[in-house]
Structure 1
Amino acid sequence: MRTIAHISDLHFGRLDAPVAEGLIADLAGRKPDLLVVSGDLTQRARRRQYADAMAFLKRLPSPQLVVPGNHDIPMFNMAARFFTPVRKYRQMVTRDLRPVYEDEQMLVIGLNSARSFTRISGWLNREQMAFAEARFAAAKGKFKVLVTHHPFFPPPRRPDANVIRGGEKYLAALSAVEVDLVLSGHLHLAYHDDLRSHFKASRRGVLSIQAGTATSTRRRGEPNAYNWITVSPQLCTVAVRAWAGKAFEESLVTRYESDESGWHKIQQVPIDQVGAEVMSDVNKQ
């Protein structure tokens, strides 16, 4: 069994400071095997924002796997945006745009889906996919996880939301190398489902898990939240831990089981009363 703390969309520059401190406190009492950060560490890719984000990440558990998001590319400096889009990210976060975590049970690969030529959208190129396919193919018998900033499909409540371009064309490759999970953020909406429910041509189930914004004031009608994910062969539990005003609390737990036909939801514990009240208050804002 392995545990992953999945946070996303920190947006330093639009930070809710009490929530950020609450996240530090919540994770201090937990020991994930891996902390995944699926992009948008900053609001405008400024050096000060990167410095603050890195100081924050140093207070969170390790090991960590981090990928950039579209907000981690300069917005207004056109020369930097098109010629050196991830220079600050590589200087201040990591030079590795294909980070890999591997242990005896799990292989996790991060890929950069942020692109200079679009303000919001993202995609993966053939070189990135070839790298991931080769590493996943060699990891026989391990639980396999891909991390991108942009999700592969929108949640039902936002069917028009911006997602990764050409997501369906990647599915055959992901299925062939037996990827189990795809972790992403970007939309600031917590959601998870089997890719097969959206892309009928997919031959193998891949569970897509999207995280809300962990610490930003840029909430989209939901409280700040992150995912606590437990994985083992053919099993995955996703617990959404949401900000309840003074601390993060477990608000929704979903358990999935996989077989040859894909992932199947076997149990879902509804949002508790505290979580429901928080969401109600947020939706009124």
Structure 2
Amino acid sequence: MTRLFHVSDVHFGREDVAAIEWFGRRVAEEQPDAIVMTGDLTMRARASEFAAAGKWLESLGRPVTVEVGNHDLPYFNPLARLVAPYRRYKTIERMIEKPLDLKGVGVVPLKTTARAQFRLNWSKGNVSIRALRKSLALVEAVPKGDLVFVAAHHPLIEAGTQASSRTRRGREALAALATAGAHAVLTGHVHDPFDIAHDVGGRTVRLIGAGTLSERVRSQPPSFNEIRIDGATFQTIARFMGEPDVAL
């Protein structure tokens, strides 16, 4: 059995210290095969926040791949946001979209953040044509018979959570990914866990969202997902701090 820990929205700068320590203990004791981090490592994309986030990820001692979230883009510096949005990410650059060596599973990145959008709330999701083409090529390159997990920050379609993603071209992206062979899309952003199966053109694709390890909880306490993979099947377990685990 392959076990992934799917974590998201730690928001260093507003992290829940008890929650990240709890997650670290779970990693140390259970030794998952890999960790998938689906964005918003930081609160305001400050260099100090990235340094703390990088130190924490390295301390886990497991293979890690990281997606970029909207909070990981410069917030108070519009010029930096447009010209050099990922400069402060250099402390963890080698972890961004890092391929994972997992038997029977391919993890494919999909960028859903944008430097600017023609709407006031730029925190919401956006799938560009270029980003989707890149991800589709990676999906098609996964060996036949392997599971394909797409990792993104924003849910591609709404999951009925308290917070929303309103991802532009998300539904079209989901249809294209399903056609290409994706089995699940792993996301964050809304701070509550879910695992919802969608029928897309006769194929079942699961949208899996992780909670948060920050102080910015919504309807659920701090949590992460454990994904247990057994051959061609997989199960999602929401692991809550201080509360029983829940099979989603």
Fold equivalence (TM over 0.5) = yes
Instruction: Report % sequence identity.
Output: 31
Change (3 A) 1:96 1:63: closer
Change (3 A) 1:175 1:157: closer
3-state secondary structure, aligned to 2:82:
helix
Q: TM-score, normalised by structure 2?
A: 0.91
Aligned to 1:20: 20
Query: In structure 2, how many angstroms separate the alpha carbons of the residues matched to 1:6 and 1:180?
Result: 16
Aligned to 2:136: 133
Change (3 A) 1:94 1:65: same
Q: CA deviation at 1:153?
A: 2.2
Query: In structure 2, how many angstroms separate the alpha carbons of the residues matched to 1:31 and 1:126?
Result: 37
Give, as a single letter, the amino acid of the residue that structure 1 aligns with 2:30. R
Q: TM-score, normalised by structure 1?
A: 0.80
Aligned to 1:279: none
Q: Deviations over 1:142-192 (max 9, x none)?
A: 11110000012223243x712321111113321222111110000001111
Change (3 A) 1:120 1:185: same
Q: CA deviation at 1:250?
A: 4.1
Q: CA deviation at 1:95?
A: 5.8
Query: In structure 2, how many angstroms separate the alpha carbons of the residues matched to 1:110 and 1:50?
Result: 20
Query: In structure 2, how many angstroms separate the alpha carbons of the residues matched to 1:121 and 1:175?
Result: 22
Aligned to 1:252: 246
Give, as a single letter, the amino acid of the residue that structure 1 aligns with 2:166. V
Equivalent runs, 1:10-89 vs 2, <5 Å: 10-89=10-89
Q: Larger relative contact order (C-alpha < 8 A, sep ≥ 6)?
A: 2
Q: CA deviation at 1:96?
A: 7.1
3-state secondary structure, aligned to 2:245:
strand
Query: In structure 2, how many angstroms separate the alpha carbons of the residues matched to 1:98 and 1:148?
Result: 10
Unaligned runs of 5+ in 2: none
Aligned to 1:261: none
Change (3 A) 1:6 1:96: closer
Q: CA deviation at 1:252?
A: 0.4
Aligned to 1:227: 225
Structure showing greater radius of gyration is 1
Size of the alignment, in residue pairs?
Answer: 243
Q: Deviations over 1:252-279 (max 9, x none)?
A: 014xxxxxxxxxxxxxxxxxxxxxxxxx
Aligned to 1:270: none
Change (3 A) 1:66 1:43: same
3-state secondary structure, aligned to 1:129:
helix
Q: Deviations over 1:62-96 (max 9, x none)?
A: 2111011000001110110111111212x122167
Give, as a single letter, the amino acid of the residue that structure 1 aligns with 2:82. F
